[in-house]
Amino acid sequence: MPAALRNWCTISLSALRANLRTLRSAVPRGTRILAVVKDNAYGHGLVPIARALSRAGCEEFGVAFASEGAELRQAGLREPILLLGSSLPSEFPIALSRRLTVTVSSLQEARELARAADKARTVALVQAKLDTGMNRLGAKPAEFLQLAGFIQRHPRLELVGTFTHLACADSDPKFTRRQLDQSFLLPMVGQRHYANSAATLSRHPYPMTHIRPGLGLYGIDPRNGGRAPLRPVLSWKSRLLVVRNIRRGETISYGATFRAPRDLRVATVGTGYADGLPFSLGNRGHALIRGRLCPIVGRVTMDMALLDVTALPAARRGDEVVWIGRSGTKIRTATDLAREAGTIPWEIFTRIAPRIPRLYS
Ligand SMILES: Cc1ncc(COP(=O)(O)O)c(C=O)c1O
């Protein structure tokens, strides 16, 4: 790690490959993997992650919108790329020229896409989405077959697959079963998929050609109490800038929300909410220093936060601070940080600021 860094993430590509193998082993042989690398591969770095997955045999990729897909093509990736969100007509020319597969939820979207394909004298690759209860994207069951039929018959559209998305695969098996019971509507032609990481690890017996894992690839089992043998891919570290004594009764940071109940040693660390450290961790979160869990005291500020290091007399300026990762024998995960911040690990990962370097090993 270059000495000049005060905040950095290390990304283990061998952990990523191990997670790919673990997810593959959870589903029937021959099931292909559409790796969800949207939103900068959940903050892990779009192109390096997709390249490593491609080399490890991952068959397809899913991104949120067309410019992410274009970035992957620019980097030389040739696998099918599905735009998981709803694309606007202004994005269709990029999708068409880069051979990105467009998700379509309605006849209106299908007609708009067909017009764009006609204009570009090409055939658009399409996956039709079925809404089984997420109520975000997708055609309702009553309209889905009409939509799929329209796409299949249209000379400017090629239906490469159909899919649905689960709302509670990590938390509510009954809700999930109700959604999956409707998946019989997905035709048995072309691709057919529904499983995010939680559904993949839960091994549902509904037929599918692909799985669509995101969080699991990055080493987190999203299920309540889930214990799949996944390896965290990302570590997030920083350094102590200042260590000093605070007298009993003094307050710390903006708003004076923390008052020292006794004399303390408090360290200022070079990570703030502009780096993606949630403001909500003020007076609630923890970091590891020298293998010991240290509480955040006072509010998190833009570029710095404060830690109570009274229990660590050896703590000094320049010490490594671990927000996510290993320190001594202890490990902190994105799930630990998320729980303290009142959020979810997906948000912790995707909020780690672009200004923080990602170092790959
Ligand atoms: C349509 C779709 N499929 C799959 C995923 C991957 O989900 P997870 O990260 O829970 O595996 C996402 C993520 O939000 C998604 O939007």
72-84 pLDDT tens trace: 999 999 999 999 9
State CA 3 to chain mean position distance.
29
Is 76 exposed, middle or buried, given 0-12, 13-18 or 19+ CB atoms closer than 10 A? exposed
Q: Which atom of ligand 1 is nearest to the CA of 197?
A: 11
What is the torsional sign of CA 118, 119, 125, 127? negative
Q: Are residues 203 and 259 in the same domain?
A: no
Cα gap 270→237, rounded to integer Å: 10
240 closest CA partner among 330, 327, 316: 316
Q: Are residue 317 and residue 241 in the same domain, yes or no?
A: yes
Residue 226 lies in a domain: no
Dist. CA 167 → ligand 1 center (Å): 10
Is 8 contained in some domain?
no
Please tell me the predicted confidence (pLDDT) of residue 26: 96
95, 119 contact by CB (below 8 A): no
For residue 170, which atom of ligand 1 is closest to its CA? Answer: 10
What's the confidence (pLDDT) of residue 1? 66
- Catalytic amino acids? 38, 254
Task: Among 158, 192, 218, identify where a domain stops.
Answer: 218
CA neighbor of 352 nearest in space, from 273, 298, 265, 289: 273
Q: Go through the chain and tell me how many residues it has.
A: 361
- Rg of the chain on CA atoms, in Å: 23
Q: What angle do CA 232, 235, 240 make, to 5 degrees?
A: 150
Bridge partners, residue 234, by sequence = 11
Task: Give the residue, by CA position, lying nearest to ligand 1 atom 14.
Answer: 214
Q: Which atom of ligand 1 is nearest to the CA of 222?
A: 10
Q: Is residue 240 part of a domain?
A: yes
Residues 277 and 328 both lie in one domain: yes
The angle, 0 to 180 degrees and rounded to 10, between the axes of the packed helices 46-55 and 66-74 is 60
Q: How far is the CA of 189 from the centre of ligand 1 (A)?
A: 22
Same domain, residue pair 52 and 183:
yes
Q: Which of 218, 243, 259 is the last residue of a domain?
A: 218
User: Does residue 223 sit within a domain?
Assistant: no
* Cα-to-centroid distance, 127 and ligand 1 (Å): 16
Give the residue among 110, 207, 208 at the shortest CA–CA distance from 159: 110
φ and ψ at residue 331, rounded to 5 degrees: -130, 135
Q: How far is 66 from 116, CA to CA, in rounded Å? A: 14
- The whole-angstrom separation of Cα 169 and Cα 262 is 46
Same-domain check for residues 205 and 63: yes
Nearest ligand 1 atom, CA 84 = 1
Residue 244: burial class (beta carbons within 10 Å; 0-12, 13-18, 19+): exposed
DSSP label at 273? Answer: G
The verdict on 64 and 140 lying in the same domain is yes
User: What pLDDT is attached to residue 186?
Assistant: 84
CATH number where 345 lies: 2.40.37.10
Q: How far apart are CA 299 and CA 118, in angstroms?
A: 56
Residue 7 belongs to a domain: no
Do 322 and 274 lie in one domain? The reply is yes
- HSE of 252 in the Cβ direction (CA atoms, 13 Å)? 29
Distance in Å, CA 61 to ligand 1 centroid: 12
CA atoms 347, 348, 351, 357: torsion sign: negative
**Cα–Cα distance between 253 and 89 in angstroms, integer?**
48
C-beta of residue 81 within 8 angstroms of C-beta of residue 97: no
Q: The domain spanning residue 83 has which CATH number?
A: 3.20.20.10
Tokens linked to 138: 């997708």
Residues 210 and 246 in one domain: no
* Paired sense of beta strands 157-164 and 191-193, if any: parallel
Among 36, 38, 42, 86, which residue has the most ligand 1 atoms within 8 Å of its CB, making it the best to mutate?
Answer: 36
Together in a domain, 180 and 247:
no
**Averaged in consecutive runs of 10 residues, what is the pLDDT profile of the chain (361 residues)?**
83 98 97 98 98 98 98 98 97 98 98 98 98 96 96 97 96 95 87 97 93 98 92 98 98 98 98 98 98 98 98 96 97 97 98 96 96
Q: How far is the CA of 84 from the centre of ligand 1 (A)?
A: 9
- Mutation choice for ligand 1 from 16, 204, 210, 212, CB with most ligand atoms inside 8 A: 212
Residue 52 within any structural domain of the chain: yes
Nearest atom (ligand 1) to Cα of 42? 9
Tell me which residues have their CB closer than 6 angstroms to ligand 1.
36, 84, 165, 196-198, 212-216, 222
For ligand 1, atom 16, the nearest C-alpha belongs to 84
What is the 131 CA–ligand 1 centroid distance (Å)? 14
- Which residue of 102, 165, 172, 210 sits with most ligand 1 atoms within 8 Å of its CB, as the best mutation to test the pocket? 165
Name 290's Cβ contacts closer than 8 Å, sequence gap at least 6: 312, 314, 315, 319, 327, 328
* Cα–Cα nearest to 97, from 73, 115, 114, 75: 73
Ligand 1 centroid from CA 215, angstroms: 8
| Ligand 1 atom having least distance to the Cα of 346 | 9
Residues 248, 302 within the same domain: yes
pLDDT value of residue 3 = 63
Q: Residues 242, 186: one domain?
A: no
- Amino acid sitting at position 80: P
Number of domains in the chain: 2
Ligand 1: which of 84, 103, 234 to mutate, most ligand atoms within 8 Å of CB?
84
Query: Taking phi first (over 0 means left), then psi (-120 to 50 degrees means alpha), and beta for anything else, what does residue 298 get?
Result: left
Q: Which domain holds residue 84?
A: 13-218
- Do 240 and 328 share a domain, yes or no? yes
**CB distance 302 to 311 below 8 Å:** no
pLDDT digits (tens, 9 = 90+) for 289-314: 999 999 999 999 999 999 999 999 99
On whether residue 41 sits in a domain, the answer given is: yes
Rounded to the nearest angstrom, the gap between the alpha carbon of residue 265 and the centroid of all alpha carbons in its chain is 36
The answer to whether residue 203 is domain-embedded is yes
pLDDT score of 226: 87
